[in-house]
A and B are shown apart, each in its own frame.
Chain A
C-alpha cells in the first residue's frame, strides 16, 4: 500500500526509465571532452599521438583548445564553477601550484596502465614525473644552441662557454625570466649540477649567480617567446641562445638550419597531464590521461617531436622521426649521451621562490 502511494505507477516509471536510457544513450553518442595544451607543433603532435587515437579507440571526441593565460583561466573556471576544460597539459611547477590551490583533481597512480612488460606504472615512470595531480607526459629541456657557420674554429662545448665572451665573442640570447638563467650561471661558474639548488638557496649563492650573469649582461638579447631563439640565430642577431630543445630540433631537421645543440648543463623539465577540478566528465578525462600515459602513446609523441618520454619503457619504442625518418635517440633530452651533465629543474624550489626571484631579476634587469 505504502509503496503504491509513494512510487509512481509502474507504467510511468518504465516510461521514465526508457526516456532516461534514451537520453543517456544520446549523451554517450555525443560524448566529448576538451583537452588543452600549448599551441604550435607540440599541440599538433599531441593531437596526432594522443587525442585522435583516443577518439578512434573510445568514440569520445576530443576538442583541443589553446592555452591563453593558462592557470588564470583554470582558476577562473573552477572558482565560477563553470569548468569546460577537462584535461590540461601543464609543466610540473604549474601543476604543483594549481594542485595546491585546489584547481586540479588528484590522480591515483594505481589507475595508470602498467608498462608493456607488466611493470607497475609507479615503477615505470621516471622518478619525479608523477605527482599528486599530474601524470608525466614528456621530458623537455632548455639547452643552448649556436649556428655552426659562426664558429669555423673552436666551438662552444660546455655551459661555461656560453658565459665566456673572450673565447666566443658575440651576443647571446636568453629568456627574460630568472628560471634557467640562474641555474646556468651557477653551473658555468663551476657548481656541480647536483649542488645547484643548495647553492641557490643561500644568499651568497644567489649573489654568485647574479654576479655571473652580470659578466655577460650587456651582450644579452632577451627573448620572450619560444619561437624567437631559432629566428634570432637564423637572422644572425645572436651567435648563441638558450632555447627549448624541440624548437631547435625543428629548425635543424625541418628547416635544415646549421644549428648545434650543446647538451652540457641542459635543464630538464617535465610536462604533466592533469584534470581540472570539478569537471563533469571526470571518468572520460581519467580515461584520456591513462590512454595518453601508456608507453605506446608516449612513444608515438616522441616520434613526432623531440621530447623524451616520462616512462622508462617508452624510450626503446621511440625509433625514427615519423616525418623525416631520422634516428630520434640523439635528439632526445633523455638520451644517455645527453644526460652526462644534466640538471633536473627543482620545481618545488621554484614554486617556493618564484616571486622573490622574479622581483630580484626584474630589479637586476632594470639596473
Chain B
C-alpha cells in the first residue's frame, strides 16, 4: 500500500512539486486565516456548548446528585460532598467561577455559594445539611441543587436555549422564559428588520448617486466621489454626534422648521433618540458601502447599451428596466450584502441615537462579552447571527448567484 503510494508520488513528480510550490505561496495566507480567524471563531463557538468549570470543581457533588431523583432534597452525601468541594474550590480560587455559572441559572446563587464557603470554614463536622442551611436557607430549596446540577453539565445546550428565550425546567423539559425576561428573540428580530430597512434605504439613496458619479464628466465625478468618501473617512463618533446636533428637538433641523413656520415651537419633531434617529444615522454611516460597489459596476456598463436600446424603440423606463438594471445587479447584490452584514453588527450608533429602541442584538453580545463575562451566551448569540447571515448568503446565491456578485471589474 505504502509502496504503491510512494510510486505514484514519484510518478507525478514535477506536477506534484509545482502544486507544492503553489501551496507554499498561499501557505502564509492560510496560516494567517487559521490563526486570526478560524481558530478564534472555533474556540468561541466551542464556548457556547462546552463549559467544564463546575464539572471540574465539584465532581463528587455532581456524582452524589446523580443519585438524587430531583424530588425533595438531595441526600446528605450531596451536602457533605458540596461542603468539602466548596471549601477546596475557595482555596483554589475557582469558587468564584463556579458561583458565577450557578448564578446565571439561578440569580443570587453567587452570593449563597461565597457566603457558604466563607462561613463553612468554622464548621468541622456534619450533619452538613443543618450546617449549610444555618448559613443560608437556599440550601433547603431544591432549585439551588437543580441549578448546581445544570451548571455541572460539561456539554450544554443552555446557552442556545437562553439565546432563543427558552430555559430548561427542573424536570428537564424545555419551556419559554417568563414573559418579562424574553428579550433575545425580539432583539434578534428587530436587528434583522432594522438592518433590512437600512439596506433598502441605502439602495434607494445610493443607486442614483452611484449612477450620477459613474456617468458624470471625469472632473465632476472626482468631486462627487470625494463627497461620498470624505464622510467615509470621518470618525464614526463624529458623524453620529453630528446627527444628534442636527436632529434633536432643539437642533438645527427643528429650528429651521420652526423658523419657516412648518411646525410650531411646541410641536417640535422627535427625530433622534428613537427609531428614526437610528435609521437616519445608520443609513448615512453605511451609505458609502453601497455607493462604491454600485459605482464600480456602473462604470463598466458601456453607455452604448442604453443608446442601442433607445434606437430599437425602447422608452427610457424600458431601457433601464431591461438593459441597465440587470447589468447593475452584481453591484446591487454586493452592496446590499455588505451593508446588511455591517448593519447587523453595528451597535455604537444605535446605542447613542436610538433611545429606548437603540438596543440591538450586538449590544447584548457586547454586554455579555464585556460586562457579565458570560462568553458562552455571547458566543451562542454570535453563532445565531452567523447562521442568519449564512442563510441570507445562501438565499442570495440561489436567487441571484454569488458568482455574479461584483465589487467592480
Q: A residues bordering B, Cβ < 8 Å?
A: 69-72, 75, 97-102, 176, 217, 220-222, 224-225, 228, 231-232, 235-237, 348-349, 351-356, 358-360, 362-366
Contact = CB atoms under 8 A, between A and B. Distances in A.
A69 B97 contact: no
Interface in B102-121: 103-104, 107-111, 114
B289 interface: no
Interface stretch (B141-149, B210-218, B335-343, B363-371): B363-371
Nearest to B250: A236
A97 B355 contact: no
B107 A353 contact: yes
B111 A355 contact: no
B180 A360 contact: yes
B99 interface: yes
Counting chain A CB atoms within 10 Å of each CB, the highest count among B107, B108, B373, B374 belongs to: B373
Contact of B111 (A228, A235, A352, A364): A352
A232 B96 CA distance: 40
Contacts of B355: 221-222
Interface residues of B, number: 46
Contact of A75 (B351, B367, B373): B373
Contacts of B100: 97, 100-101
Nearest to B182: A363
Sorted from nearest, which 6 A-B pairs have the closest CB atoms? A100-B96, A236-B250, A356-B107, A362-B183, A72-B370, A359-B181
Given A72-B373, A102-B93, A176-B359, A360 B181 contact: yes
Contacts of B182: 363
B183 A363 contact: yes
Contacts of A97: 100, 372-373
Contacts of A98: 373
B372 A355 contact: yes
A176 B273 CA distance: 11
Given A363-B180, A365-B359, A235 B352 contact: no
B93 to A, nearest CB: 5
Q: Which of A69, A224, A237, A358 has the most CB of B within 10 A?
A: A224
Contacts of B183: 359, 362-363, 366
A237 B356 contact: no
Contact of B359 (A69, A217, A225, A362): A362
Contacts of A355: 103-104, 107, 372, 374
Contacts, number: 106
A349 B108 CA distance: 8
A348 B111 contact: yes
Contacts of A237: 248-250, 273
Interface string B184-225: 001100100000000000000000000000000000000000
Given A362-B183, A363-B181, A225 B372 contact: no
Contacts of A366: 183, 186-187, 190, 356-357, 359
B358 interface: yes
B406 interface: no
Residues of B contacting A: mostly: helix
Given A364-B180, A365-B356, A353 B187 contact: no
B358 A176 contact: yes
A228 B181 CA distance: 28
Contacts of A363: 179-183, 186
Contact of A235 (B103, B104, B248): B248
B408 interface: no
A102 B359 contact: no
Contacts of B187: 362, 366
Contacts of B374: 355
A269 to B, nearest CB: 15
18 contacts: A71-B371, A98-B373, A176-B351, A176-B356, A176-B359, A221-B273, A224-B351, A224-B358, A225-B352, A231-B244, A349-B111, A352-B109, A356-B181, A358-B372, A360-B181, A362-B359, A366-B186, A366-B190
Given A221-B355, A237-B249, A354 B372 contact: yes
Given A354-B372, A366-B356, 17 more contacts: A97-B372, A99-B96, A100-B97, A101-B100, A102-B93, A102-B97, A176-B359, A224-B352, A236-B249, A236-B250, A352-B111, A353-B107, A362-B364, A365-B359, A366-B183, A366-B187, A366-B190
A70 B370 contact: yes
Contact of B97 (A101, A232, A235, A353): A101
Contacts of B375: 75
Given A72-B373, A366-B186, A352 B107 contact: yes
B70 interface: no
Contacts of A100: 95-97, 99-100, 110, 114
Contacts of A360: 180-181
A356 B96 CA distance: 18
Contacts of B251: 235
B180 A222 contact: no
A97 B96 CA distance: 8
Contacts of A353: 107-108
The residue among B107, B179, B180, B359 with the most chain A CB atoms within 10 A of its own CB is B180
A356 B106 CA distance: 9
Contact of B370 (A71, A221, A356): A71
B88 interface: no
Contact of A101 (B107, B245, B352, B373): B373
Contacts of B99: 100
B94 interface: yes
Contacts of A362: 183, 187, 359, 364
Contacts of A224: 351-352, 358
A102 B358 contact: no
